[in-house]
Structure 1
């Protein structure tokens, strides 16, 4: 019996009407897929194993919402993908592990990875179990309920996910294949893939952006907001949280709810931003047309959003401020941190804070060299900074480090010919935003990005295999007429 998390953090057991409603939705979805011919009939040429190493058409690294969406979109094109994820089954992505928000930021009406299928939307899944009245009462989607929905999505779309599998090396080859070294509970082995999709989330091309003041500081004193940790260990402690974004608020609230003695938010700015400018950019024209914009306009748009800064969600902020032992300290960039006796001294321009533990919520950075699995490609990936110089005053380190991607999210060489096969690796995660817009990581337009990538891959495969398909055309001999349908005059 499975469990679905319903509104207001209530947990409902899926029995009775809920189970019957979900079963009915699954029948409806299955019929829709049959009507659409989804998955399409296989048409790709069979791949022969090389020295007992299997050859896949597409390998996807990451089974979060992006990886699932791409795999399902490829199935619509008749292309089979295998998805590898290092997490145990049902714990893919951050939702049930390191994410700590109560609800998603995105409006509940957004269709996310549903790929144009009404019966595959979160709303259909929710209403099938809890009804239309509950949907009307729902404000934002609870985080754990979104994870339940993704687990269901994986099952009903029959996505082939290999859990507990870590990709330890990605090596493109000149012969049109990419070698992947895998570490699994059964041992290490290798597969080959004609194309690879990196659906590795916010930190998948690097890791946490760690400020200099924690470099060298013993790990018992601090954590990054993305770390997996037991917040119950903070009970009774004086906690500092560096930052004021979404994850900072979530970390602060989780610490307070776990019984922290106090939480001081150390906020560099003199005030919190009020407007989420990225919401104002979410129109179909941008979704479909961002890649075709001149480089100057792409940079201008993303830099404007970065500078404006995204405010923390309304609910997340109230979740912190309702605690009397939470303090919002503005104009307090951290200058240095020192461990003194049994506490931390955290110095800011305003004052020195005596704390027992520090959580740094400083986001992520792109750093290929920080990921050992990318050692073979890290020196060769072209970033925007390798060919684009922004206008004075628009310098932006995050954008400069972003990979400069081709029309189908493919990586490109910094120096032509230096890494043959690099363009067979497709970046379908947040760092693709500067090149393609927000279509590869966030909920609003992830279906658009997944379908763009899947249809483009179908075109690439057909072009590469044209001789095979033409030979099949020549050999095709299924008669439309038998010759006895008429009498000659």
Structure 2
């Protein structure tokens, strides 16, 4: 029988346990990467752009493997990184509470350990899913307890290749410019990390004050008494619809192209360590086949999110209702579908994200050279998929590859640890379930490349190492200790 009271109570006790676990495992490893300077300026081994969940676990893994000279940059203030308390509008996470996520295999670093330390075992048992604000608090604690080198309030304006093979990271902080010289860069920039929100062309002729994307800042209080439309019925669309209703929208119309809402989460249903570690080994045509099918089936919105919307009498779901026309008429928008015309006051696009490198000015120097899947892999017949075709074609450590070999060697020093890496590596970079496994693959690849690049220095260290194991007094040569009587006989 398990001992229900065996786990430590309180964060102080949990943190003590984590320190002990790390000490027993001899973690983090001692720093081993040779320091570099250029023109008297220190070089940073790795710059991680993005301090959300992916950036934090990437930092944790780098530190764990002895790459101590790295920094994480995030433009947001502390506790505002990532979507959790900004544009995420669900009440709880969509992932099951027990997933270990960014814990890197350390029990005392799991969300469960954190939650139980704060609230006790009974509260954990009663918990359905993690409230998103509590998850954000957990990530702030995670960063603190691991002492990760995060700098907030820093925006990355450009990444520029240098003649010496390194990278200039041009940053802004409080109106000041700074350039960091780095050997490697990790893009931990989330769902829209290689592009931005996708909004269909039908919005082009509508005044921006009448619409928003689910990833935008939205003043929901201003929607009280308004007629609100939502395009799409994914998780984010549902959460935004619910938030509008809870803010006092008098009518909510949700427009969906499909005949019915998807009900089965296909990819989650086959989740396993085989998928986590095996997907990257699939032949290209099989990678495409898996993801094209899963994307075609779509992911259903969580049941609690749907019930949150349908509990309002003024909420109306319109199936088989693609938008055929969108017009601005005076102070309202008229949405037309094959079924009817709907006058609304404000429209929210729950239409997802796109890969479009032209929308990432920080990557402008590299954009022409980044190889996408469409540049080398012919789309299989009957499986046209613009999102997959525009995905970056990545190496085994998430590094970008060149369209033309040799045209931009520095590209291999930029690692794409965000959602668009999915076609190359599987779902290791954007979701909670396998984020630690993804960070482990990333960090080990960076460690390998840094060691290989510094091989001359490591060989010099090998030759120069002269700390003796033996002091010379442990034993003596047998021939030098011949007894006196034997020595006289020999003479």
TM-score interval, smaller chain: over 0.9
Q: Could you report, residue by residue, the CA deviation over 1:203-241 in whole angstroms, capped at 9, with x for unpaired residues? A: 011001111111132111000011012111100000000
CA gap of 1:484–1:138, structure 2 versus 1, over 3 A, is: same
Cα distance in structure 2, aligned partners of 1:85 and 1:113: 18
For the pair 1:344 / 2:333, whether they are aligned, the reply is: yes
Paired residues of 1:174 and 1:420 also in contact (CA < 8 A): no
Shift of 1:51: 3.8
Equivalent residue for 1:287, pick from 264, 272, 276: 276
Q: Secondary structure at the match of 1:421?
A: helix
Equivalent residue for 1:68, pick from 36, 52, 56: 56
Paired residues of 1:197 and 1:428 also in contact (CA < 8 A): yes
Q: Secondary structure at the match of 1:90?
A: coil
Q: Secondary structure at the match of 2:304?
A: helix
CA gap of 1:404–1:174, structure 2 versus 1, over 3 A, is: farther
Match of 2:439 in 1: 450
Cα distance in structure 2, aligned partners of 1:431 and 1:63: 18
- Structure having the higher Rg: 2
Q: TM-score, normalised by structure 2?
A: 0.94
For the pair 1:428 / 2:417, whether they are aligned, the reply is: yes
Q: Secondary structure at the match of 1:442?
A: coil
Cα distance in structure 2, aligned partners of 1:19 and 1:408: 37
Q: Which runs of 5+ in 2 are unaligned?
A: 1-6, 479-491
For the pair 1:381 / 2:370, whether they are aligned, the reply is: yes
Q: Could you report, residue by residue, the CA deviation over 1:376-402 in whole angstroms, capped at 9, with x for unpaired residues? A: 111110000001112211110000000
Paired residues of 1:433 and 1:439 also in contact (CA < 8 A): yes
Match of 1:94 in 2: 83
Equivalent residue for 1:365, pick from 354, 371, 379: 354
Shift of 1:19: 11
Shift of 1:270: 1.3
Equivalent residue for 1:403, pick from 392, 395, 417: 392
Cα distance in structure 1, aligned partners of 2:106 and 2:426: 23
Q: Could you report, residue by residue, the CA deviation over 1:315-366 in whole angstroms, capped at 9, with x for unpaired residues? A: 1000000011111011111112111122111111110100000001100000
Paired residues of 1:85 and 1:163 also in contact (CA < 8 A): yes
Cα distance in structure 2, aligned partners of 1:465 and 1:451: 21
Paired residues of 1:19 and 1:129 also in contact (CA < 8 A): no
Match of 2:472 in 1: 483
Q: Secondary structure at the match of 1:403?
A: coil
Shift of 1:174: 4.8
Q: Secondary structure at the match of 1:469?
A: helix
Shift of 1:52: 5.4
- Map 1:114-263 onto structure 2 (within 5 A): 114-185=103-174, 187-263=176-252
Match of 1:310 in 2: 299
Q: Secondary structure at the match of 2:436?
A: helix
Q: Which runs of 5+ in 1 are unaligned?
A: 1-17
For the pair 1:417 / 2:406, whether they are aligned, the reply is: yes
- Map 1:25-36 onto structure 2 (within 5 A): 25-36=14-25
Q: Secondary structure at the match of 2:10?
A: helix
